[in-house]
Each structure stands twice: as structure tokens, then as C-alpha cells.
Structure 1
Amino acid sequence: MRNEFDLLHALRIKGRVPADQVGADPAVVTAAADAGLIAVTARGVLLTGAGLVRHAGLLAEQVSTADRDGLERTYDRFLQVNRAVKDACAQWQAAGSAATDDDLLRAVDALERAFTRVDRPLAKLAVRLPRYGVYRDRLEAALERATEGRRDALADPGSDSFHTAWFECHEDFLVSLGRAREEDE
């Protein structure tokens, strides 16, 4: 992470993050902690109340200069396939250790179809808001790992799975647009 916004935004989207997984320049982390924007605890790094306020201000500046219509259009496309992604991940998780190779192929196929519908809009949005390109890359990489037989790449909460990247992208849309998850479910 290059700057204060990137750190605060990652923590806003992910919640508490283990200190060894923050991925920010130590100087940025130290400055944010010294300013009271984040708390570094034994259980991880998280935003403070002041950090939430600072993040909201920085995000408002960024979104106001971005193509808000493009953000809205891309999110609408995202919502069109969100149910299919949730269903595919839920079915995969329900199969658990009994999941067969055919189950894996069905899940990958469903997620690839959904990704295909959001790939281009995410790429276009990433021109104005580069963090959406990172989600796109993470989703694509998770599908590649799943295609290679890596079962954890679909919905394992402990890895950078498709479901994890999708959930974080969804949260980013909600935060950036000032919406509540319940409004769109």
C-alpha cells in the first residue's frame, strides 16, 4: 500500500487484519497509528473511530472526482450476478469434504460465467478507480487456481478465494456508494 487512504480503505473493507498481513509500508502504519487512525493490537490492526471519520472524508473526495455514474453502472452489473455467485459458493461450501471433481467443475463454471459479466465493467472502472482492477485480478487469479484443482480458491475464508475477493469488492461498492447491504439483498 502506498498511502494513508490505501491503508485505511483496506482496513475499512476487511475489518481487523493480522499485523503481518496488512501489506502497508511500515512508515504509513506507524504514522496512522501515531495519528490515532488505527489501533495495532495483538489480535490485529483495525480502524479507530477517528480512522473511520478520516477514511470517510478521503473516500468522499475520491468518489466525488470519480465517474460516479460508472461506479453505479458497474455495481448494477455486479448485483445482476451477485445471487449466482452467492448460490455457487454456498453449494460448494455445503458439499464440504464430500465435494467431487464434478462439483468443483460446476462451481468454477458458475463463477466463470458471473465473472465474465463483470470483468469488462470492472476493467473500465479501474481506469478511474484502480482498486477495482485489483479485485478483478484477484477474482481472475482465484478462478485460475480453482481450474487447476485448488479447492480452497473457491470459497475458503482463510485464503484469497473467489468468495473473499467478491465479498470485499461488494463491500467496497457499498462503502463507496454509501449504501447498506440490506438495501441490495
Structure 2
Amino acid sequence: MSSASEPELLVLHAVRILGTADDESAAARYGLDVAVAREHLLDLEAFGLVRRAEFAGLGGWSLTGRGRAEDERLLAAELATDPTGRPAAVVHEVLAGFDPLNGRLRQACTDWQLRPGDGGRLDVNDHRDPAWDARVLDELGAAVAGVRPLLARLAAVLERFAGYDGRLDGALAAACDGDGSRVAGLGAASVHGVWMELHEDLLATAGIARGAVTSREGAD
């Protein structure tokens, strides 16, 4: 049976995964009511776990060092609640399967932005070669297809991993329909944006710091 995370963890983890989040995006990340998310954010701020910054009329929450440590503690405790150890085993097995797919997707995103030019240099992809772009989208689709069964395994033990597949599929479909910003554009609306969130979520849940990923394919 899939384990449902506590709202406090979901709000704190949403801020970590998103990097910077306002009340609405922190709530939306895991389908929480905005008022519930805001209450938790204010509590987390009172305990020094998140801080809010404002600039040019825009504001958002981010984790403090203490907040990151608390997120790691809560994630570890969540895995430890199952005496069988199955969720922890699944997370590490999925991470091992994710690594080669991560390399494929990173290369596809690079190829979407750059392509070989004269003299062996890389030029900005001007997207005037439909065959090149079609190959890149095929490779992107292969990475997304490859991660779907891994996501199904994750969602079967940890409910908060549900939804990544639909977000990846939606971004990929929009990219294939001609919206190039949905390939590697900034923000969570692109395939790369969703993938980065997933990678951070996996590493955080496994208790692995992103900077420690040195022997793998590399970070996003």
C-alpha cells in the first residue's frame, strides 16, 4: 500500500523541490489547500525552517539550512516507518534505473539547444532542421517512456511521487505539438523542469546530496 506523507512534510518538501515557492505553488505541488499550506509555511517560518524574500513585488519561500536538515530528517523518518524496508529499497533501486535515463534526457536537452557547427564547434540550434529536432524529440520521448515504470513503482510505495508521469507526458505532448519552450525552458512546465524536480526528489528521498553525485551520470 502506498504511504501518504504528512502535510507538514509535503509543504516543506515542496519548497525544497521548487527552490522558491509562493503559497499557491507550495500548495499546488502536492494538491493541498492553499490555506492549509499557508498555515504550515508560517509555522515553518516561526521555527526558522523557511524564509520569505520579496523583490520587485514578487515574493517566495525558500529553505534555510535548518529547514533542509529537517526535510532530510522527515524524509528518512518516513522511510523508516515501514518495518519491511520496502520503500527505501524501491527508492534506491529506482534511482539506479534512473541514472542512465538521466544521461539520455540531459543529452537530448543539450541537443535541443545546441548542434554541431563548422570546425567541430557547437552552434545554437536555430530549429531550421526538422529532422534534427524530430530525432531529439524521439530521444526525449524515449527517456520519458523509460521512466514511467520507475515512477509507477515509486508511487506504489510513496504517494507523493504520483503525478510526475502525467506532468512529463503533458510537457512532452506540448513540445511535440510545436511548443519548443516545453522541452528545456525555465520552470516546471518543461520536460527538463519536471525532470529536475524528480531528480531532486529522488536524491533527497534517498538521502543523497546532489553535489555528491560524482560517480553517476551527473546532476541535471
Instruction: Give yes or no for TM over 0.5.
Output: yes
Is the alpha carbon distance of 1:90 and 1:97 closer, same or farther for their aligned partners in structure 2, counting shifts above 3 Å? closer
The one-letter code of the counterpart of 2:45 is: A
Decide which of 111, 127, 130 is 1:99's aligned counterpart: 127
What is the alpha-carbon distance in structure 2 between the residues aligned to residue 52 and residue 68 of structure 1? 19
What is the alpha-carbon distance in structure 2 between the residues aligned to residue 18 and residue 27 of structure 1? 13
What is the alpha-carbon distance in structure 1 between the residues aligned to residue 207 and residue 6 of structure 2? 24
Is the alpha carbon distance of 1:99 and 1:127 closer, same or farther for their aligned partners in structure 2, counting shifts above 3 Å? same
How far has the Cα of 1:159 moved from its partner?
4.6
Quick one: higher RCO (CA 8 Å, sep 6+), 1 or 2?
2
How far has the Cα of 1:42 moved from its partner?
0.5
Corresponding position of 2:120: none
Decide which of 10, 17, 26 is 1:13's aligned counterpart: 17
In the alignment, is residue 167 of structure 1 matched against residue 196 of structure 2? yes
In the alignment, is residue 38 of structure 1 matched against residue 41 of structure 2? no
| Structure 2 length-normalised TM | 0.75
Structure with larger Rg:
2
Aligned length: 185
Corresponding position of 2:67: 51
Corresponding position of 2:95: 75
- SS, match of residue 42 in structure 1: strand
Corresponding position of 1:29: 41
Corresponding position of 2:214: 182
Corresponding position of 1:124: 153
Q: Identify, as 1 or 2, the structure richer in helix.
A: 1
Residues 7-50 of structure 1: per-residue CA shift (max 9 Å, x gap):
21122223233566333522222222223221011052111222
Q: Percent identity?
A: 29
- SS, match of residue 99 in structure 1: coil
What is the alpha-carbon distance in structure 2 between the residues aligned to residue 47 and residue 9 of structure 1? 9
Residues 145-178 of structure 1: per-residue CA shift (max 9 Å, x gap):
1122111111001352111111111111111112
What is the alpha-carbon distance in structure 2 between the residues aligned to residue 20 and residue 118 of structure 1? 28
How far has the Cα of 1:122 moved from its partner?
0.9
Unaligned runs of 5+ in 2: 28-33, 116-123
What is the alpha-carbon distance in structure 1 between the residues aligned to residue 186 and residue 153 of structure 2? 28
Corresponding position of 2:109: 89
How far has the Cα of 1:2 moved from its partner?
7.5
Corresponding position of 2:119: none
Corresponding position of 1:3: 7
Q: Is contact 1:85-1:114 (8 Å) kept?
A: yes
Unaligned runs of 5+ in 1: none
- SS, match of residue 81 in structure 1: helix
Corresponding position of 2:163: 134
What is the alpha-carbon distance in structure 1 between the residues aligned to residue 191 and residue 78 of structure 2? 26
Q: Is contact 1:15-1:46 (8 Å) kept?
A: yes
| Structure 1 length-normalised TM | 0.88
Of 80-89 and 27-36, more deviation after overlay is shown by 27-36
Is the alpha carbon distance of 1:56 and 1:97 closer, same or farther for their aligned partners in structure 2, counting shifts above 3 Å? same
- SS, match of residue 172 in structure 2: helix
- SS, match of residue 189 in structure 2: coil
Is the alpha carbon distance of 1:2 and 1:73 closer, same or farther for their aligned partners in structure 2, counting shifts above 3 Å? closer
